[in-house]
Structure 1
Amino acid sequence: MVKIGNIELPDFPLLLAPMEDVSDPPFRRLCKMHGADLMYSEFISSEGLIRDAIKSRMKLDIFDYERPVGIQIFGGDEEAMALSAKIVEAVNPDLIDINFGCPVKKVVCKGAGAGVLKDVDLMIRLTKAVISSTSLPVTVKTRLGWDEDSINIDEVAERLQDVGVQALTVHARTRAQMYKGHSDWTHIQRIKNNPRITMPIFGNGDIDSPEKALEYKNRFGLDGMMIGRAAIGYPWIFDEIKHYFKTGEHLPKPGMPERIEAASNHLKWAMEWKGERLGIVETRRHYTNYFKNIHGFKEYRQKLVTTDGADDLMKVFDEIRDAFADYQLS
């Protein structure tokens, strides 16, 4: 069993990564149904919360069926981070996570996300500000360092634990790598093997198959792993990995009925949460992934991303069911 504060997770839990414009309640609901053990919100700007920005406030929505769930915040100002932690605590998540890993320029330029990797003292001050403002467990997600010449995750891990961080997830790339090149989990393994480190250590980066998940589980000896991009349009990956861990065998790949059901549920839940128009528009980005490598699907994908209106979209899904009733995935 893995514990974060009073949160009890199964042995070697699988975490759903916080992904901007992806990890919203409808998507999290699907991942929870298919085996994710702990999930996080999209990252939320501390300044946005304080300004009462509508988009930031919407990201605070959590539901009992997805617990345990954490809300992730980012920012570069101690006072703003402290106040946003109080705002977050009011909606009663299971934990608060701090993003010190986002490599996107607009975040880094504000001295937030991975930008803080260049100033570990600031990182610690920001973390202390959050911890002192909440009774919830506080965790951190970060990267190996700013670039290959300044990998400082060993110092970061020790200092974060010393100020009270209760779990650490490391994306095994530097900020300079963005999402390119290979992730290097040996750095995370070194942290886990540090006798000073007692908090759970989770790895993130490039987990895209049950085989790789088992290989990394056995090779690096971490407490669990976080899965991000591989789950987009494919929430089944969590169940597939868990089944492979237990049996060494693969679950059957989801067929067209399962893919149609997942995509249509995603749309329905998005419309329920965001309203019909926004739910329709924001679900469009997911259809390519739900129906990746499906021969002859281009015509229907075009309909899904251009049709307006809930009833008309559900008719498109009915068309797809009929057209692919005998389709066998290779």
Structure 2
Amino acid sequence: MQIGQYQLRNRLIAAPMAGITDRPFRTLCYEMGAGLTVSEMMSSNPEVWASDKSRLRMVHIDEPGIRTVQIAGSVPDEMAEAARINVQNGAQIIDINMGCPAKKVNRKLAGSALLQYPELVKSILSAVVNAVEVPVTLKIRTGWDKDHQNCVEIAQLAEHCGVQALTIHGRTRACRFEGEAEYDNIRLVKQTVSIPVIANGDITNPLKARAVLDYTGADALMIGRAAQGRPWIFREIQHYLDTGELLAPLPLAEVKHLLCEHVRALHGFYGHVKGYRIARKHVSWYLQEHAPNDQFRRTFNAIEDASEQLEALEAYFENFA
């Protein structure tokens, strides 16, 4: 799959997820087979750009793969300026968020709230596309709610404005993440526009990935929550798409290695104090199938020292040796 001048190495994309797809996680997903990773959402509000949170969310030139930054906001000029600054900092693709269902984002008329206002969508897309030389992509939902599913209109508008790829999450904003994603609207959009279409929503295993590609005709798949604690899902899906065969479950020794390296990377990226706090949620996701009684996770979450976290993980995995 190609986005502008960039050829992706496969059709699997790690979704932008606030508080999750930081640099350590993006790097791990890329190493585990993602063809593209997208940064956490960056606000277009210039008042927050100097904060530590925004600084850490920016991509940097030494990152692996095609560096893609997602921006969110509702003021066309601010969005254009945010795109320019991120390109100056190393972004090679700018993705625009019009899919986030979070209330605090929608209250600012950003994320999926924008789907209610096609003229404003057009102004934002045009401003960003005209502001930068790099490809601009867009992520949306099928609409605001089931009575207002306008993804075909937005997709056509995006293509007309020069957007070079479109991701669709198969839920409305009203659905948030509840119920099951549907793919009829994604299929309809794919039949309507000529730019690449990326299917997103509930792609949790290799068989589902194959089925969604076949049904929608999508050019690629975006995987979000299913990669939390299982970044190797990209490798599993790609192997199945290539061979029709399922990979054996990842050996526990490799799970241990990946988890410990991820935790070390978080400590290094955020510093030991913030790093150990952020590591807790990732460890919880990794161990969901191994620690069903939650006892270890409760114990782990009480640890307030980075090196002690790693010692606890070593001891935990020794019980399975």
Aligned to 1:64: 62
| SS of 2:131 mapped into structure 1 | coil
Q: Which moved more, 1:209-218 or 1:311-320?
A: 311-320
Per-residue displacement from partner, 1:67-99 (whole Å, max 9, x unpaired)? 113100000111211111111111112200000
* Separation (CA, whole Å) in 2 of partners of 1:46 and 1:302: 37
Asked whether the 8 Å contact 1:49–1:57 carries over to 2, the reply is no
For residue 285 of structure 2, the aligned residue among 268, 283, 289 is 289
Asked whether the 8 Å contact 2:105–2:111 carries over to 1, the reply is yes
Aligned to 1:318: 314
Aligned to 1:26: 24
Supply the AA of the counterpart residue of 1:8. Q
Deviation, structure 1 residue 298: 3.7
Aligned to 1:126: 124
Asked whether the 8 Å contact 2:39–2:58 carries over to 1, the reply is yes
Cα 1:295–1:175 change in 2 (3 A) is closer
Cα 1:183–1:296 change in 2 (3 A) is closer
* Separation (CA, whole Å) in 2 of partners of 1:63 and 1:132: 23
Aligned to 2:262: 266
Q: Percent identity?
A: 36
For residue 108 of structure 1, the aligned residue among 101, 106, 109 is 106
In the TM superposition, 1:175-186 aligns within 5 A as 175-186=173-184
Aligned to 2:153: 155
Aligned to 1:83: 81
Supply the AA of the counterpart residue of 1:6. Q
| SS of 2:17 mapped into structure 1 | coil
| SS of 1:79 mapped into structure 2 | helix
* Separation (CA, whole Å) in 1 of partners of 2:311 and 2:178: 39
Supply the AA of the counterpart residue of 1:285. K
For residue 248 of structure 1, the aligned residue among 244, 248, 253 is 244
Supply the AA of the counterpart residue of 2:111. G
Aligned to 1:328: none
Deviation, structure 1 residue 271: 1.3
Supply the AA of the counterpart residue of 1:175. R
Deviation, structure 1 residue 176: 0.6
Cα 1:51–1:254 change in 2 (3 A) is closer
Deviation, structure 1 residue 30: 1.3
Deviation, structure 1 residue 103: 0.5
Deviation, structure 1 residue 304: 2.3
Q: How many residues align?
A: 321
| SS of 1:64 mapped into structure 2 | coil
Deviation, structure 1 residue 296: 7.0
Asked whether the 8 Å contact 2:61–2:89 carries over to 1, the reply is no
Asked whether the 8 Å contact 1:303–1:316 carries over to 2, the reply is no
Supply the AA of the counterpart residue of 2:223. I
1:4 lines up with 2:3 in the alignment: yes
Q: Which moved more, 1:52-61 or 1:135-144?
A: 52-61
Asked whether the 8 Å contact 2:60–2:91 carries over to 1, the reply is yes
* Separation (CA, whole Å) in 1 of partners of 2:104 and 2:198: 26
The unaligned stretches of length 5 or more in structure 2 are: none
Asked whether the 8 Å contact 1:259–1:291 carries over to 2, the reply is no
Supply the AA of the counterpart residue of 2:8. L
For residue 211 of structure 1, the aligned residue among 198, 207, 211 is 207
1:137 lines up with 2:144 in the alignment: no
Supply the AA of the counterpart residue of 1:204. N
Supply the AA of the counterpart residue of 1:88. N
Asked whether the 8 Å contact 1:101–1:114 carries over to 2, the reply is yes
1:227 lines up with 2:226 in the alignment: no
Asked whether the 8 Å contact 2:71–2:95 carries over to 1, the reply is yes
Name the Cα RMSD after superposition. 1.6
Asked whether the 8 Å contact 1:139–1:166 carries over to 2, the reply is yes
Per-residue displacement from partner, 1:40-79 (whole Å, max 9, x unpaired)? 0000111056652331122003353421131000001112
Asked whether the 8 Å contact 1:50–1:80 carries over to 2, the reply is no
Asked whether the 8 Å contact 2:59–2:90 carries over to 1, the reply is no
For residue 239 of structure 1, the aligned residue among 224, 235, 239 is 235
Q: Which moved more, 1:57-66 or 1:127-136?
A: 57-66
Cα 1:50–1:297 change in 2 (3 A) is closer
Supply the AA of the counterpart residue of 2:278. E
Cα 1:30–1:51 change in 2 (3 A) is closer
Supply the AA of the counterpart residue of 2:317. R
* Separation (CA, whole Å) in 2 of partners of 1:237 and 1:63: 26
Per-residue displacement from partner, 1:175-221 (whole Å, max 9, x unpaired)? 01001112121111111112xx2211000001001111111111221
Aligned to 1:93: 91
* Separation (CA, whole Å) in 2 of partners of 1:145 and 1:30: 32
Per-residue displacement from partner, 1:241-291 (whole Å, max 9, x unpaired)? 111112222111123212221221111111111111111101101112101
